[in-house]
Amino acid sequence: MANLGFIGLGIMGNPMARNLIKGGHTVRVHDTQESCVGPLVAHGAQAEPSGKAVAQRADVVFIVVPDTPDVAAVLFGPEGVAAGAQPGTVVVDMSSISPVETKVFAERLAKQRVDMLDAPVSGGEVGAESGTLSIMVGGKEAVLARVRPYLELMGKTITHIGDHGAGQTCKVANQIVVALNLEAICEALLFASKAGADPVKVRKALMGGAANSRLLELKGEWILSRNFKPGFRIKHQQKDLNNALSAARQLGISLPNTATTQELYNALVASGEADLDHCALVMALERLANYRVT
C-alpha cells in the first residue's frame, strides 16, 4: 500500500483518484471546491487542507487542474506542493498545460530534489471512470518505473514520450487531432442534414468505413441527440488549442486548420457557452449556416 496524494478532483480527477483508492492505496486529497472532496472521502480518501499538507504526507502527488497558472499555483503557491515536498517526492502533473512551462516547473522542483513527470491523459470522463486512459509521459524513465503501478490503475496505455515537456507536447498534438476530427464530424453531419439525408443514417454508414473514429462513435451520437452536458468542456478545448497555437508561433510553423477551429470555439465562449461539451462546436457551424443538424 502506497501513500499517495491527489490534487484537483473535477470531472477527470475525481474518478482517477477513486481508481487509486480501489487499488488499495491511501490517497490524500485536496481541492479548492469542498463539494468535490466529500465524495472522495466517502470512498475512503483522506482530506487535506492544502497542497502543502498533501505533499508532507504523500510519496507521490498527482495533479489534475485546468491550466498552466493553476498548476503553478498548486506547486509554488504559499501553501503549495513545493512547500511541503521532501527530497525524493515525485510530482505527477496529469493536467494539460504548456510544454514550455512544464520544463520550468520540473527544473524548479529538481532544485529541491523533487522529481516531476508530465503525464497528461486522453480518453475523457469515460476513460477516467473505467481506468482506460491513454497517458503520455515526459520525464525520467526511472521515475516513470517507480510510479507506473499507480498509472496502470488509471490508464490502459502508458507511453514514455521523452524528457520533461514531451508528454505535454504529445497531448497538444492529441488535442489538435481531436479538435480537427470533431470539427470535420460536425461539418459532415451539417452538410448531410442540409442536403436532405438523414444524419443518423449517415453517421451509421460512416462508422462502417475509413471515416470512422472513436469521436464519430461517441460524440457523433451526442451531437445528433444534442447532448452537450460536459464530458470535456469547450473552455478546456479552447485552452489546449491556445497552447498549440502558442507553441506553433514559437516554432515558426503554421497550423491553419487548428487556428480556424479555435476561432469557432472562441465564438462559442463569447456566446457564454464555455461550459458545454466540446462537441457543441456544431452550434457554431449551425449559426454560420442558419440551419440545425437536428
Give me the phi and psi of 157, to 5 degrees please: -120, 120
What crossing angle do the helices spanning 214-225 and 166-194 adopt, rounded to 10°?
Answer: 50
Residue 115, strand partner residues: 90
Q: Name 99's Cβ contacts closer than 8 Å, sequence gap at least 6.
A: 118, 138, 165, 166, 168, 169, 172, 243, 247
Q: Give the span between the Cα atoms of 158 and 144, in whole angstroms.
A: 10
Q: How far apart are CA 172 and CA 122, in angstroms?
A: 11
Of 112, 44, 46, nearest to 76 by C-alpha is 112
Q: What is the CA radius of gyration of the chain?
A: 20
Residues written for the chain: 294
Active site residue 171: yes
Q: Which residues pair with 293 in a beta bridge?
A: none
Question: What is the grid cell recorded at 262?
Answer: 479555435
Instruction: Check 111, 140, 156, 171 and give the catalytic one.
Output: 171
Q: Quick one: which H or E segment has residue 26?
A: strand 26-30
Count Cβ atoms below 10 Å from residue 218 Cβ, excluding itself.
14
Which residues 6+ apart lie within 8 Å of 268 measured at CB?
Answer: 234, 274, 276, 280, 281, 283, 284
Q: What is the DSSP letter of 277?
A: B
Active site residues: 171
